[in-house]
Amino acid sequence: MEAAMASGTALVYDEEMTTHKLLWSDPVCDIEVPERLSSSYEQLKCYNLVERCVHVPAREGSEEEILLVHSSEHLEVAKSTQTMNEEELKRVSGNYDAFFFHPNTYHCARLAVGATLQLVDAVMTGKVCNGMALVRPPGHHSQKNAANGFCLFNNVAIAGEYAKRKYGLQRILIVDWDVHHGQGTQYIFEEDPSVLYFSWHRYEHQEFWPSLKESDYDAVGLGRGEGFNINLPWNKVGMGNSDYLAAFFHVLLPMAFEFDPELVLVSSGYDSGIGDPEGQMNATPEVFAHLTHFLMQLANGKLCVVLEGGYHLKSLSESVCMTVKTLLGDPVPQITGEMAPCLSAIESIQNVRAAHKPYWKWLAYEDTSVLQNLSTKSHPPKKANPNPFTDPESKITNNDESVKVERFLELHMKNILFPVPPIKTATTADSKGSAHLLPVPVHLVKEMDKTEIKALVSGFYADLVKEDKILHSLGNMLAVLDKILKKEVCNGIAESPRAAVSVAVALRHSVQFGFQRVLCIFVGDMQIIPNIEDGKILMIHICENEQSGKTSSKHCISLNWKEDAEGNDFFSALLGFILPVAYSYQPNLTVIAIGPNRSLGISGISLLFALLQGLAESRIFAVMEDTEMNLMRSVAKALVGASTPDFGVYVPPTQEKVTKIKILRDQFQQEWKMLQCSVKDGISRN
């Protein structure tokens, strides 16, 4: 038996951390308010998320813990502020770039450190699977010897160092999706190969704070840490959901899977979300659900999310809720917005890939080179702000914009949030009874009776209805599918003696039911090619050899792939091609079928199921012709989501496979724009 899997999501919060506040007037610092914490916590309560989490108490971080990354001088200065009067506090604060001290700041900053470490302990000891710490002051700008940018102690960096020492970890991934560069974290770990640090940040060719040369894409780490520092600079404002997803598909996720972390820490700033006066980006709260979902597939699900920035209270609190909802395992809302990264984002993605090519196996055969002439360089940022949401000229308009965003988000969240189906995963009690052997709670559905099926199928596949065995399996299959289509269950598994037949019927039935965009991924040999003429179905067929007479078209794509004998090399196909196509398509139902002669191993198939759950509100229907027990277990595990399935040993793609993906990418990137990750291929300047 495998060890019992940790379950549950921790929430660490202490109201005490709202007592750190600005005592004098300072237009730079006045956005870092206590309400950032209290309104986020209130919104979590509003969605009934607090009661679903495991409450983990905060504690003060010890001096010893703080000294893991900070100097004793820095600690002493911070300590000395507890008894200062306002004048003295103001004077000491003035020694730092964008920081303020309050008599309670030292206490709050120690609580922020301790809360973060409590979360790491809860996750590392298996008390919970993952969790979030709502803390302030934030941490990612603070350096060994200095407070900086609202940050006193570097909570996440201390957590990384602490986890390495206490749990003997050798690989930690830190993902910093705050809109500012976490230069503090970069400096602390830039020579350390055991910590992979990824940050995207508003940069505008060094115009935007902290305006450092070393925040650019070519700062890849130093000495032994070379290749383990990834900076993705955003050279214009207004980046949105598709830009963030493209960064994950084409940069972060392939690196993360190759790195294979034992723990993932997120410096979770939400100033990269819509309406933020600092970031001026356009990403909406649900994008954070998708990013969180992807990171949950790493490190066996060990994920600690720690609050950093975020200054539009509504945008911040909704984004916090989307993150926690996803950590709890709720289905992920459909992403909104046009799924096409902007030219400037593609340029940055290309440059960071080029800069890291020498260090990463997955990039070894990518023909990628640095772009010198960037589309944003020729016309420097005008003082007039291109972002529709903020106008720095006056606080008044700023306030108007802030209210506009608030109203927009009220409506937006109502539109994208949906009732979670009462049942996660369904299957039918078939003759083999294999459902009872599955390691996870799966709901059993009664099959449909024969007359019902005949009536359903006779319209389009009349000849199939003659065979009793097939009829029976269609009855099972349709019973589960109907529950998914009616949103009574989230996802389901059906066994079928002929997967291609079941899939053909399932696709037709779903379209007739009213689903307009169905994604079907078929692994193995497909004897019947379903009719996809009406553009309501996108078929991706993964098989070992080209099937004769089949040419790829926009809605029917063939991927010839034979999994490597050494381990799982399917990461590159999934992240570099399948996911970008699927996200470009935005299906409202996903059907994944495993037919005969599958060319993917169990780990590749598990990965497929795990990563595609971000689509179609997590509605996935699995049709299994191959019912090998370990495969069924892995698929059920991925669908129930109680734990991360095993993705096997990471194997980098061969040159031949990289070329294969590139050819497909070139062929389809005009249609499915999330495939775009470089500019030189004559991509339209969208």
CATH number for 199 = 3.40.800.20
Structure confidence at residue 453 as a pLDDT band (50, 70, 90): confident
Beta bridge partners, 148, equal 97, 151
Choose among 189, 175, 129: nearest CA to 294: 175
Structure confidence at residue 3 as a pLDDT band (50, 70, 90): very low
Same domain, 454 and 410: no
Beta bridge partners, 520, equal 539, 591
The whole-number pLDDT of residue 458 equals 64
The whole-number pLDDT of residue 36 equals 98
Establish if 431 belongs to a structural domain. Answer: yes
The whole-number pLDDT of residue 441 equals 66
Three-state SS string over 234-271 comes to ECCCCCCHHHHHHHHHHHHHHHHHHHCCCEEEEEECCC
- Reply yes or no on whether the pLDDT at 684 is more than 90: no
Same domain, 325 and 435: no
The rounded distance, in Å, linking the Cα atoms of 130 and 303 is: 5
Does residue 134 sit in helix, strand or coil? strand
Does residue 591 sit in helix, strand or coil? strand
Same domain, 95 and 163: yes
Are 229 and 192 a contacting pair, CB within 8 Å? no
Establish if 681 belongs to a structural domain. Answer: no
Establish if 685 belongs to a structural domain. Answer: no
Choose among 236, 278, 270: nearest CA to 28: 278
- Using omega within 30 degrees of 0 as the cis cutoff, is the peptide bond preceding 422 cis? no
Choose among 143, 158, 78: nearest CA to 112: 158
Establish if 686 belongs to a structural domain. Answer: no
Are 75 and 147 a contacting pair, CB within 8 Å? no
The rounded distance, in Å, linking the Cα atoms of 503 and 480 is: 13
Q: Where is the domain boundary, 367, 398, 416?
A: 416
Establish if 434 belongs to a structural domain. Answer: yes
Establish if 375 belongs to a structural domain. Answer: yes
Establish if 1 belongs to a structural domain. Answer: no
Same domain, 171 and 277: yes
Beta bridge partners, 556, equal 539, 553
Choose among 207, 36, 238: nearest CA to 138: 36
pTM for the full predicted model: 0.95
Residue given tokens 């290309």 in the structure block: 350
Choose among 319, 235, 233: nearest CA to 269: 319
Same domain, 401 and 450: no
Same domain, 542 and 511: yes
Are 316 and 273 a contacting pair, CB within 8 Å? yes
DSSP secondary structure of 389-449: T--TT-HHHHHHHHHHHHHHHHHHHHHH--PPPSEEEEEE--TT-GGGGSSS--EEEPPPP
Choose among 121, 112, 197: nearest CA to 166: 121
Residues 373-426 have pLDDT tens digits of 899 986 555 443 444 333 344 455 688 999 999 999 999 999 999 999 999 999
Same domain, 408 and 428: no
Q: Where is the domain boundary, 391, 416, 441?
A: 416
Are 17 and 111 a contacting pair, CB within 8 Å? yes
Same domain, 356 and 480: no
The whole-number pLDDT of residue 428 equals 82
Q: Where is the domain boundary, 377, 400, 416?
A: 416
- Alpha carbon 155 to its chain's center: 21
- Reply yes or no on whether the pLDDT at 583 is more than 60: yes
Residues 479-531 have pLDDT tens digits of 999 999 999 999 999 999 999 999 999 999 999 999 999 999 999 998 777 77
The mean pLDDT of 299-305, rounded to a whole number, is 97
- Comparing 302-311, 342-351, 521-530, which segment has the lowest mean pLDDT? 521-530
Q: 39 is written with which tokens?
A: 């309104």
Domain that holds residue 653: 423-675
Dmax over CA atoms of the chain, in Å, equals 89
Same domain, 384 and 482: no
pLDDT greater at residue 183 or residue 445:
183
Residue 352 burial class via C-beta count within 10 angstroms: exposed 0-12, middle 13-18, buried 19 and up: buried
Q: 616 is written with which tokens?
A: 């179609």
The whole-number pLDDT of residue 552 equals 77
Number of C-alpha atoms within 13 angstroms, CB side, residue 98? 17
Establish if 27 belongs to a structural domain. Answer: yes
Are 353 and 346 a contacting pair, CB within 8 Å? no
- Reply yes or no on whether the pLDDT at 641 is more than 80: yes
Beta bridge partners, 193, equal none
Same domain, 179 and 109: yes
Are 621 and 485 a contacting pair, CB within 8 Å? no
pLDDT greater at residue 529 or residue 339:
339
Looking at the structure of the chain, the number of domains it has is 2
Residues 207-250 have pLDDT tens digits of 999 999 999 999 999 999 999 999 999 999 999 999 999 999 99
Same domain, 433 and 411: no
Choose among 249, 234, 317, 242: nearest CA to 279: 234
Supply the residues annotated as catalytic: 141
The rounded distance, in Å, linking the Cα atoms of 489 and 421 is: 5
Same domain, 210 and 134: yes
Q: 88 is written with which tokens?
A: 């003295």
The rounded distance, in Å, linking the Cα atoms of 70 and 63 is: 10
